[in-house]
Amino acid sequence: MKKLIIVGGGYSALVLGGALLENNFKDFLILERNDRVGKKILVTGNGRCNLTNDRLDLSFYHGGRTDFIEYALKKYDNASVERFFARRGLLLTRENGRVYPLSRVSASVLDALRLPLADYVVTGAFVKDIKKTGDCFLLKTADGQTYKTENVVLSCGGKSGQNLGTDGSSYRLAETLGHTITKLYPSLTFVLSSTFPKGLKGIKHFASVTLVDGDKPVKNSVGDFLITEKGVSGNSVFDLSSEISSTKKPLFSVDFLPEYKFALVVDALKNKRGFYPDVAAKNMLTGYVHSAFSEHVALRLGIHDMPLSSVDDNTIKSAVELVKNYPVKIDGVGGFEFSQVTHGGVDTRAVNKKTMESKLCRGLYFTGEILDVDGDCGGYNLQWAYSSAMVVSESFK
């Protein structure tokens, strides 16, 4: 009989385990289905683990209840993350507000978390069933073991990153204990689109991307925009991906030159025409955008093989219009197997924001992505996993 069992050994579980040891609370176990804990941590932030962000506020989060998210985030914010890792001897660094371990290697975060917890972890333990009988929970694992505990924390993630142990089975555990799961969507994923020709595959550009519903702007995101085999990807696209499913006529409008106003670019191109009249029009936008994209624009406008001297003012304006307002058709989004995080989850109306304890089942707690809370790209999901885990830790001292 344990006082507490944590189901799942991902980021939030390991943070919670570390906080419990700091509280001098030792009567707990972490059950992880994989052969080791924290596999997903290793692939986060492209192997560099983007832990949190210097810019932290509610506008970066999505989910059923903002007051629910706000409580945990305010109590355990980005500065709290920094102090938590400093106590473990791990220094952090930042790039454009994104916070990483100083080593810029995810394994250093995983090591800082997992090493003190070696005696508290059981791996290869896939919890397939949970029952509450009287004051205790009975947990059954796929290998036939039974565990008895007074309290349970479901830290077993969402439906994204399925090859890392999170296939959505976590939600069934919550449902068997009486909880409702909101509609689930893949978020922070690529977007399927047949807009760009194959020749542009691999082009990466800094861009301002606006998701439009018919002609109404829904949300804007600025960052990397990548043209891929199947569509478009990059941070700017990831951040808009969860909104697409609830948009009736979704379309991206992409500004490849967000730092420059329309008229300024038009004037610059007119100057270029005056200075280099014999240069081929396909190179008109070279220096502004990738040369293959410059050629693509010239082809679309039918000026590819002309000298710049033959390109009139209206055509220059059309070229700039395309570069600053490029319409990208949206054919769908990459599925859960490609998404970084799940939009939706355990309905937070049935969870106490001050403890993360279920309002329906005493002794049941939740941390991280299993809850109906998800964040934008930039460290916001690991921050949520941290904040929610720290709130749970307060109940075990």
By CB under 6 A, name the binding residues for ligand FAD: 7-13, 31-34, 39-40, 43-45, 49-50, 125-127, 155-157, 160-161, 165-166, 169-170, 340-341, 368-370, 379-382, 385
Give Cβ neighbours of residue 247 (< 8 Å, ≥ 6 apart): 211, 213, 218
CA distances (Å), origin 258, targets 155, 205, 369 = 40, 11, 33
Nearer to ligand FAD, 190 or 326 (CB): 190
Q: How far is the CB of 379 from ligand FAD (least distance, A)?
A: 4
Tokens, residue 388: 């929610």
Question: Which residue's CB atom is positioned nearest to ligand FAD?
Answer: 10
Tokens, residue 3: 């006082």
Q: How far is the CB of 300 from ligand FAD (least distance, A)?
A: 34
Q: How far is the CB of 244 from ligand FAD (least distance, A)?
A: 19
Nearer to ligand FAD, 7 or 177 (CB): 7
Q: How far is the CB of 290 from ligand FAD (least distance, A)?
A: 26
Spell out a b/e string for 40-65, using b for 16 or more CB atoms within 10 Å of the CB, else e: bbeebbeebbbbbbeebeeebbbbbe
Give Cβ neighbours of residue 302 (< 8 Å, ≥ 6 apart): none
Nearer to ligand FAD, 149 or 195 (CB): 149
Tokens, residue 341: 């995080």
Nearer to ligand FAD, 326 or 386 (CB): 386
Nearer to ligand FAD, 190 or 256 (CB): 190
Residue 81 and residue 77: Cα distance in Å, rounded? 7
Phi, psi of 388 (to 5 degrees): -65, -40
Q: How far is the CB of 55 from ligand FAD (least distance, A)?
A: 13
| Reduced DSSP (H G I as helix, E B as strand, rest coil) percent helix, strand, coil of the chain, to 5 | 35, 25, 35
Nearer to ligand FAD, 39 or 282 (CB): 39
Q: How far is the CB of 67 from ligand FAD (least distance, A)?
A: 20
Would you say 36 and 123 are in contact if contact means Cβ atoms under 8 Å apart? yes
Q: How far is the CB of 28 from ligand FAD (least distance, A)?
A: 15
Nearer to ligand FAD, 135 or 143 (CB): 143
Q: Which residue has the tokens 């029009």?
A: 281
